[in-house]
Chains A and B, each alone.
Chain A
Amino acid sequence: MNVLVIEDEQKLCASIKKVLEENGYSVDIAYDGQIGERLALKRDYDVMIVDIIIPMINGLELCKRIKRTKPAAPIIMLTALGTTEDKVTGLEAGADDYLLKPFEFAELIARMRAVIRRSNISLNATGAVLQFEDLQLDAGKKVVFRGGKEIELTAKEFQLLEYLVNNPGRLISKAELATKVWDIRSDKSSNVVEVYLNILRKKIDRDFEQKLIHNRKGLGYILQKET
Chain B
Amino acid sequence: MSLLSIQDLSVTFGPFRAVDRLSYEVNAGEVVGIVGESGSGKSVSSLALMGLIDYPGKVTANELNFEGMKLLEMKDKARRKITGDEIAMIFQDPMTALNPCFTVGDQIMEAIAVHQGGSRKERKLKAVDLLRQVGIPAPEERIKSFPHQLSGGMSQRVMIAMAIACDPKLLIADEPTTALDVTIQAQIIDLLLDLQRQKNMGLILITHDLALVAEAADRVVVMYAGQVVETGPAAEIFARPSHPYTEALMKSLPESSQGKARLDALPGVVPGANDRPSGCLLNPRCPYATDKCRTEEPELIETDGRSVRCFTPLTQQEDAA
Q: Does chain A bind chain B? A: no
